[in-house]
Amino acid sequence: MLDNRIKVEFISKSENEAFARVAIAAFASQLDPTIEELTDVKTAVSEAVTNSIIHGYNSEADGIIVIEAEICGNELSVSVQDKGEGIEDIKLAMEPLYTSRPDLERSGMGFTVMESFMDKVAVESEKGKGTKVTMKKIFKSID
């Protein structure tokens, strides 16, 4: 049963990454998270949004990023979606240290970070049509 839901969209400017982190952290706060849980969510959202900006839209501020978040019981689900370049090989892109932008000296750890801080990460992508990353975090039991 869905307890709450939000949807936020913004242009693909790097300055908006901080907004995304704070917006989702504020939404997740109703689950009474620990500081560590909140930091995990903020870090994962930051990585997903940064990937959309840098890889999806090539750091061009002409795209739209949509974040949707839902709370069901003690589970937070967050999806970050762009209509950018898409990922040709998702499995390869999710490998630690892989980056499609070595020219920017990227670490290639974005998906690894997301997987480390969230309980589940799923990626859907189609070349030329965009990418959707859905992440889930289960919080300690709420009373």
- Pick the catalytic residue: 106, 115, 124, 126? 106
- pLDDT per position as a tens digit, 54-78: 889 988 888 999 999 999 999 999 9
Residues 6+ apart with CB under 8 A from 11: 61, 62, 63, 64, 65
| 106 among known catalytic residues | yes
Q: Of 17, 21, 37, 51, which one is the catalytic site residue?
A: 51
How many domains, the chain?
1
Annotated catalytic, 47? yes
In a domain, 100, yes or no: yes
Task: Output the pTM of the full model.
Answer: 0.91
Classify residue 143: in a domain, yes or no.
no
What CATH number did the domain enclosing 51 receive? 3.30.565.10
Residue-wise pLDDT tens digits, 14-50: 999 999 999 999 999 999 999 999 999 999 999 999 9
Residue 24 is encoded by which pair of tokens? 């989702």
Q: Which of 17, 37, 47, 85 is catalytic?
A: 47
Among this protein's residues, is 16 annotated catalytic?
no
